Structure 1
Amino acid sequence: MDAVFELFHSLVNVFWSLLDVVVAFVKVILPWLPLLAWIAFWSLAVNWVKTFDILRRGGFIGVLLLMFVAVIVWGAVAPPIDGAHTIFGLTVSNYAGKFIYVTMLTCITLLCGSVQMSGTFGNLIDFSDEDEAADEHGHGAHAH
């Protein structure tokens, strides 16, 4: 009977240890969750074959304008508490810091597209049904 009690006590200790590991993992991953969601969206939910085609035909100008507007609005709405950002050990002004952040997010977005187009995700991503559905409705053969 004593051996059964020790086994039960050991299993309870294993459960609490696993719970401690999960809590520690959540504490580490929680601050990075928005960036991970950003990467997951741009990697898995966007058809980059079509997106890069649009960017090559001049869509990059729209992206640059959106970046500019994001920097201006974000800098006006949420200035840093001490008036400057510290990025990689450098102190930069509000708008320069926001420009760096927006540029980094845009670069991450384009890297997600490059990774998707390289075939790294394999069968995880398949946008062929989207093209077939457009052809079935008769929109693929002619322009409106």
Structure 2
Amino acid sequence: MKRPWNIPDMPVYSLATYKNMLNMNICTYVTALSMKPKLYGVAVYHHTQTLENVQESEYAILQLLHPSQYALVNVLGKKSGKNYDKQAYLSKKDLLQLWNDYEILKNISACLLLKKISFQQTGDHVLYVWEVEKYVSFHSEVLTTSILSEKKIIRI
């Protein structure tokens, strides 16, 4: 039997952060918190390039991944931006496009421009609260944790 936190099928996101260069991670600890104003909570793992970037930046882009992007989890989620240039990899594979002057992934299901409001230490993650400033939806299909499990990328 699955553990309680693994029972729901969760959407898979990538948080794009921008310090000196683009970095993207994989995150599933993401939820809408409020309708007015539109707020999101995103938990960022300790000791990551994403956390360093978020600490020093006011903005980030939350990207809801499309099912066709399941293989990106091996690069964006299993390699550290501290010692792997994800921007170079994504550029070489022609997987990036511009949206509101930010580089984002092509073929995502949706993306949100987030402005950092606050944070809270929460065990092995830091929970950030963000206000949604802009958003766009491209596809209704989303990558989920069950798809990643079926593809043997994660174990649930």
TM-score range, shorter chain: under 0.3
Q: Higher helix fraction: Structure 1 or Structure 2?
A: 1
TM-score by length of 2: 0.21
TM-score by length of 1: 0.22
Q: Higher strand fraction: Structure 1 or Structure 2?
A: 2
Structure having greater relative contact order (Cα 8 Å, sep ≥ 6):
2
Structure label with greater radius of gyration:
1
